[in-house]
């Protein structure tokens, strides 16, 4: 196919160089956005008297038929085309003649591609937000069912203090709520229209940039044409938000892997979301969680790749910027794929409450409560802390837990101990008395569920 710029050149582009240069194999996915941007641009040109009403009619009909044909699979992308923008423009001109050649008036591919990516990512951001809402709904359902399910809470992966499973799940709920906020915040800056920046300097034509921005549903226009075509902050911000989503999913996945091991056995994943082993008949592997954990690296890589592409780039557009798309598309695809599997996996997991409770009963996770008991009776916390530590050491030596130490032994350490100590260190009581805001107590957990509900949309 002859290049649009053939007039300036004596030789055709080398085939290897053409293949290297071409982005159509990955930017073809923006065909809808490209056509939408062109339709808006043409309407604006006509409204401003830059394009005739007849040309607008022909362009609109031509672009609409191209859209229909691509969607119907009747118009395959030409792998020889340099990119989706060139492909659609060439196809338009083949269909409608000279009017097609007028579409690119007061426009450059530099502002065109910047608009296309923003339109594309805006939709993807909305789709991912929808998926995060679905995940949050599952978290809230599971949490509501386990407001009183006691489990050990961990620090350093050592049993630390009793908590409820709901409280633990809601910690993830908070993370995903912030992710929803972060994506919305990135979209605010993304939703600004660069169209009309042209190659870099604006144009001599009497365009109306606010009109195209409005037609395309943008909140405003980019205020500097050089920035308009050079800015990819919106990609980086979204990549950063998506990396954080993956970091959260990865931590959650790690716990799902741990919890479904025989060592923990806190949950059992549904058969539909686990795999067997080709050699060990007893195995039920949490592959989905492991893959989500593993795919996190790709998304971080996409972020770092994009930051690095932009690093040291002089203004304005440079072809390096074509590298933005594979990274951001990969990140978007990966996050969507992970959420598609993670959410139903979580919805279908069986919670083994008895195992959680028996793990909570071991590990002396009520030792802080024992110290608090003495503190409430007037002993300074540090002294109480020491006595509680002695009690734990005594239990270890004698094969006891704090709940089975006889009262006379307790009293030999301090006469502040009384019969009521056993109630004070009962796990259910330990949990329910953590009534501080944000704590693991019943009412606090219910309040957290209510707090998260608006995020369901
Ligand atoms: N395919 C190109 C990209 O993705 C479109 C912009 C090309 N602009 C240019 N001046 N060569 O970046």
The pLDDT of residue 279 is above 80: no
Task: For a ligand 1 pocket test, name from 20, 22, 83, 104 the mutation site with the most ligand atoms within 8 angstroms of its C-beta.
Answer: 83
Under 8 Å between Cβ of 289 and 261: no
At residue 103, the pLDDT reads: 98
**Helix, strand, or coil here: 51?**
coil
Closest ligand 1 atom to residue 84 Cα is: 1
Taking CA atoms only, the protein residue closest to ligand 1 atom 3 is 322
Q: Does residue 83 line the site of ligand 1, with CB under 6 A?
A: yes
At residue 282, the pLDDT reads: 81
Q: Does residue 321 line the site of ligand 1, with CB under 6 A?
A: yes
Mean pLDDT across the stretch 293-305? Answer: 98
- The CB density around residue 456, as the number of other CB atoms within 10 Å, is 12
- What pairing do the DSSP bridges indicate for beta strands 192-193 and 220-221? parallel
Q: Does residue 113 line the site of ligand 1, with CB under 6 A?
A: yes
Question: How distant is the alpha carbon of residue 355 from its chain centre?
Answer: 32
Q: Does residue 111 line the site of ligand 1, with CB under 6 A?
A: no
**Nearest Cα to Cα of residue 34 among 4, 70, 80, 10:** 70
At residue 382, the pLDDT reads: 96
At residue 283, the pLDDT reads: 79
What are 445-457's pLDDT values in tens digits? 999 999 999 999 9
pTM of the model: 0.95
When the pLDDT of each residue in the chain is averaged and rounded to a whole number, the result is: 96
pLDDT band at 57 (very low <50, low <70, confident <90, very high): very high
What are 360-381's pLDDT values in tens digits? 999 899 999 999 999 999 999 9
Specify whether 277 is catalytic.
yes
The pLDDT of residue 144 is above 80: yes
Q: Does residue 191 line the site of ligand 1, with CB under 6 A?
A: no
Specify whether 156 is catalytic.
yes
């Amino acid at each position: 196919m002859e290049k649009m710029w053939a007039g300036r050149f004596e030789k055709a582009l080398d085939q290897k160089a053409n293949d290297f240069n071409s982005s159509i194999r990955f930017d073809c996915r923006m065909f809808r956005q490209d056509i939408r941007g062109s339709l808006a641009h043409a309407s604006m040109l006509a409204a401003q008297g830059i394009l005739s009403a007849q040309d607008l009619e022909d362009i609109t009909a031509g672009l609409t038929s191209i859209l229909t044909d691509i969607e119907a699979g009747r118009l395959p992308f030409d792998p020889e085309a340099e990119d989706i923008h060139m492909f659609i423009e060439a196809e338009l001109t083949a269909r409608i003649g000279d009017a097609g050649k007028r579409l690119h008036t007061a426009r450059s591919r530099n502002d065109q591609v910047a608009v296309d990516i923003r339109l594309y990512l805006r939709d993807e951001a909305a789709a991912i937000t929808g998926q995060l809402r679905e995940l949050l709904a599952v978290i809230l359902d599971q949490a509501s069912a386990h407001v009183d399910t006691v489990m050990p809470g961990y620090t350093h992966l050592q049993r630390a203090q009793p908590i409820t499973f709901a409280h633990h799940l809601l910690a993830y709920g908070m993370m995903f709520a912030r992710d929803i906020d972060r994506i919305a915040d990135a979209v605010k800056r993304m939703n600004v229209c660069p169209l009309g920046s042209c190659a870099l300097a604006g144009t001599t034509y009497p365009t109306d940039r606010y009109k195209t921005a409005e037609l395309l549903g943008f909140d405003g226009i980019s205020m500097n044409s050089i920035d308009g075509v050079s800015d990819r902050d919106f990609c980086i911000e979204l990549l950063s938000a998506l990396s954080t989503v993956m970091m959260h999913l990865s931590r959650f996945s790690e716990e799902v892997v741990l919890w479904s091991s025989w060592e923990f056995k806190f949950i059992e994943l549904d058969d539909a979301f686990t795999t067997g082993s080709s050699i060990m008949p007893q195995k039920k592997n949490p592959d989905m969680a492991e893959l989500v954990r593993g795919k996190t690296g790709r998304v971080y890589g996409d972020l770092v790749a994009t930051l690095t592409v932009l690093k040291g780039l002089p203004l304005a557009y440079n072809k390096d910027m074509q590298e933005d798309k594979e990274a951001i598309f990969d990140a978007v695809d990966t996050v969507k794929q992970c959420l598609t599997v993670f959410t139903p996996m979580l919805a279908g997991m069986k919670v083994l409450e008895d195992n959680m409770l028996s793990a909570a009963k071991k590990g002396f996770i009520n030792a802080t409560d024992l110290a608090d008991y003495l503190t409430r009776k007037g002993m300074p916390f540090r002294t109480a802390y020491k006595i509680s530590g002695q009690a734990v050491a005594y239990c270890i030596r004698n094969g006891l837990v704090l709940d089975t130490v006889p009262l006379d032994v307790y009293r030999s350490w301090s006469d502040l101990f009384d019969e009521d100590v056993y109630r004070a260190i009962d796990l259910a009581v330990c949990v329910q008395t953590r009534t501080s805001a944000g704590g693991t107590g019943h009412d606090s957990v219910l309040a957290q569920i209510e707090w998260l509900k608006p995020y369901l949309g």
